[in-house]
């Protein structure tokens, strides 16, 4: 993984007293076919760009210039086409949001397909944002005569964090990752694990002066030491493949372990779900046979005890060994599916019992 030189290898230079984030104004509405490099160079000249500056550009205007639009009715199809893999699907009112990995590496809701500030139809992300950033940087360095870095940014949420912030999808001429290992902290202790994601920090800082409602799609970040000391593509920022610690959320991970295909997986809601809804989903998941196996001859029933506690009975089709195996297997699949539903919010205590044909009575 290429990273910027560590402090132990290259001196970072004297710190600056402050960092500036300058809004890039005057771009106007970007249309398909516009020469974005020329327009950005014109808009940047009043800011007197300097060596070491980093230009953060909303990826949306790159998509507009490239004509990466899709008809609104084809939005779902476009998301499926852009997905390398589906991580999760969540239901909000009647809208299903797919969280997918896109070709350039990041995992994003709706594959980054965005309808905000897109009056002519939803916009797709460029397939190779790093290549787009490189091309723009080459144009800007040639036009302005300064060695600046370029980031393409977009809004994204973070695992375990509420809200969204800008991250870097494409990078050129930027020390997107800075390896701090081998240096020391303020107390003189050696740093052994810290690799700073500088690109995302720059993207988030830039978003303070641009954003969805301001009409400012780019910002220049100035005064960050060693920001352009290396050239690390944004593709290196995505923890996917073997390094992905969270390849599937908890529910989906268990469903995969139970043998469900992506097409067979149910869709959980974004908002909290009542216990009965989650229990019924667990029963439905457990009833799906593994590929190549026949559907179980056993049937599960949900009811309640006299004290109101939920109670599940698995009815064996008959008393043969094969039927009992089917019933026991279904009961264990139900317990596993219920366990998955309890990972985020605990379900009430639920008993799961097997009933033989001679004892199949109504639930109390």
Domain for residue 1, yes or no?
A: no
* pLDDT tens-digit map of 198-235: 999 999 999 999 866 668 999 999 999 999 999 999 99
Domain for residue 12, yes or no?
A: no
* pLDDT tens-digit map of 252-276: 999 999 999 989 999 999 999 999 9
Give the residue ranges of DSSP H helices in the chain.
36-44, 59-66, 75-82, 129-144, 198-206, 250-257, 275-287, 321-341
More confident residue, 61 or 190: 61
Same domain, 31 and 146: yes
Domain for residue 153, yes or no?
A: yes
> Does an H or E element contain 119, and which?
none
Structure tokens at 360: 């199949």
**How many domains does the structure of the chain reveal?**
2
Q: What confidence score (pLDDT) does residue 11 get?
A: 39
With pLDDT > 90 as the criterion, what percentage of the chain qualifies?
69
Please state the rounded mean pLDDT for residues 105-123: 85
Instruction: Lowest mean pLDDT of 13-27, 118-132, 181-195, 201-215, name the range.
Output: 181-195
**Taking the model in full, what pTM does it have?**
0.81
Q: Is the pLDDT of residue 6 over 60?
A: no
Final residue belonging to a domain, choices 194, 210, 238: 238
Domain for residue 10, yes or no?
A: no
Q: Is the pLDDT of residue 9 over 60?
A: no
Same domain, 323 and 207: no
Domain for residue 26, yes or no?
A: yes
Same domain, 311 and 202: no
Q: What is the CATH number of the domain that holds 62?
A: 3.30.1330.100
CA–CA separation, 330 and 322 (whole Å): 12
Domain region containing 278: 250-359
Same domain, 183 and 61: yes
CA–CA separation, 362 and 364 (whole Å): 6
Same domain, 216 and 337: no
Please state the rounded mean pLDDT for residues 137-163: 94
């Amino acid at each position: 993984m290429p990273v910027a030189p560590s402090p132990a290898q290259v001196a970072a230079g004297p710190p600056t007293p402050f960092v500036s984030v300058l809004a890039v104004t005057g771009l106007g509405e970007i249309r398909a076919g516009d020469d974005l490099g020329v327009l950005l160079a014109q808009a940047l000249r009043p800011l007197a760009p300097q060596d070491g500056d980093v230009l953060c550009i909303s990826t949306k205007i790159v998509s507009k210039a490239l004509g990466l639009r899709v008809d609104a009715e084809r939005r779902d199809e476009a998301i499926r086409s852009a997905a390398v893999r589906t991580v999760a699907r969540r239901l909000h009112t009647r809208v299903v949001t797919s969280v997918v990995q896109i070709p350039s590496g990041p995992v994003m809701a709706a594959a980054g397909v965005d309808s905000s500030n897109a009056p002519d139809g939803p916009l797709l992300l460029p397939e190779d944002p790093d290549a787009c950033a490189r091309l723009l940087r080459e144009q800007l360095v040639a036009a302005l005569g300064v060695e600046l870095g370029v980031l393409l940014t977009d809004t994204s949420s973070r695992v375990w964090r509420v809200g969204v912030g800008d991250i870097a999808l494409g990078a050129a001429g930027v020390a997107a990752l800075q390896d701090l290992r081998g240096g020391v902290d303020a107390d003189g202790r050696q740093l052994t694990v810290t690799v700073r994601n500088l690109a995302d920090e720059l993207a988030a800082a830039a978003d303070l002066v641009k954003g969805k409602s301001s009409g400012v799609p780019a910002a220049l970040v100035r005064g960050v030491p060693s920001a352009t000391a290396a050239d690390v593509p944004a593709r290196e920022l995505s923890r996917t493949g073997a390094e992905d610690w969270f390849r599937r959320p908890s529910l989906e991970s268990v469903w995969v372990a139970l043998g469900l295909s992506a097409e067979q997986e149910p869709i959980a809601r974004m908002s909290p779900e009542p216990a009965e809804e989650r229990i019924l989903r667990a029963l439905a998941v457990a009833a799906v046979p593994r590929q190549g196996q026949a559907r179980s001859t056993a049937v599960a029933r949900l009811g309640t005890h006299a004290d109101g506690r939920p109670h599940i009975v698995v009815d064996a089709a008959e008393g043969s060994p094969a039927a009992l195996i089917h019933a026991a297997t279904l009961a264990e699949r139900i317990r596993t599916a219920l366990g998955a539903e309890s990972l985020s919010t605990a379900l009430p205590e639920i008993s799961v019992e097997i009933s033989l044909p001679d004892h199949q009575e109504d639930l109390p």
